[in-house]
A = this chain, B = another copy of it.
Amino acid sequence: MRIAILGGTGNIGRGLALRWGLRHEILIGSRVGSKAERAAGECAETLSAVTSIACQIKGTTNTEAAAAAELVVIAVPYRAMRELVDAIRPVLDDQIVISLVVPMEKSDSYLKYTPPSDGSAAMELKRLLPDTVRVIAAFHNLPGEKLRQLNMRLECDVVICGDVEGMSVVSALVEEIDGLRVLDGGGLEDAAMVESLTPFLINIARRNKLHGLGIRFV
């Protein structure tokens, strides 16, 4: 599958590119194309050091990546989401869009979930993007640094929300990553709870001097 990872130069974006890079064609997107090209080059180099299987990871602008992809991952911070939407709306058709976006703000030294009036970033995306796009909320609660380290097996759960058809495509992508388990979190209107876990996890990590937390239901 041709997958665009927009805002893909951060830990989570690179982590997904690396973990999917041997099975899929990955387009890392950034506002600045050259930044994405550099990230893609580094990911390709990392993979070539551990396998002789050829990978296809390229970097380009967010808009070009979205235009070329069958599935689009949105991994930008919430503050950059609307500008990104304006840039990609014209090139989207009936792709699946995976939202990793979490609206959160600092309050004292901790983070607070600050959902928009739509209820969640995922619901806002659904309203802003063409009706034909299927938005799935997923991958909010993975530790990015660990995801980037290919030798780390993540024993984490990925709770996903959205429509049945979109979720079945995304479920398969989750389970391609060794150690991850996918869990049905309900419809897209249930995404707020999943998004709100991200600042909670970061706060728990900070308060308890832990690092890079994911979540597991046991």
Query: Which A residues are closer than 8 A to B by beta carbons?
Result: 110, 154-156, 159, 183-186, 190, 193, 196, 200-201, 203-205, 207-208, 210, 213-218
Contact = CB atoms under 8 A, between A and B. Distances in A.
Given A196-B196, A210-B217, A213-B218, 9 more contacts: A156-B218, A183-B207, A184-B204, A185-B204, A186-B207, A204-B217, A205-B217, A215-B217, A216-B218
Contact of A204 (B159, B196, B204, B208): B159
B196 A208 contact: no
Contact of A110 (B154, B156, B186, B207): B186
Contacts of A205: 217
25 contacts: A110-B186, A155-B218, A156-B218, A159-B204, A183-B207, A184-B204, A184-B207, A185-B204, A185-B207, A186-B203, A190-B203, A193-B196, A193-B200, A196-B196, A205-B217, A210-B217, A213-B218, A214-B217, A214-B218, A215-B215, A215-B216, A215-B217, A215-B218, A216-B216, A216-B217
A42 to B, nearest CB: 27
A14 to B, nearest CB: 21
Contacts of A186: 110, 203, 207
A200 to B, nearest CB: 5
A203 B189 CA distance: 14
A127 B173 CA distance: 47
A144 to B, nearest CB: 14
A184 B200 contact: no
A-B complex: 5 closest residue pairs judged by Cβ atoms: A184-B207, A216-B216, A213-B217, A216-B218, A193-B200
A119 to B, nearest CB: 12
A202 to B, nearest CB: 11
A190 B204 CA distance: 11
Contacts of A155: 218
A183 B193 CA distance: 20
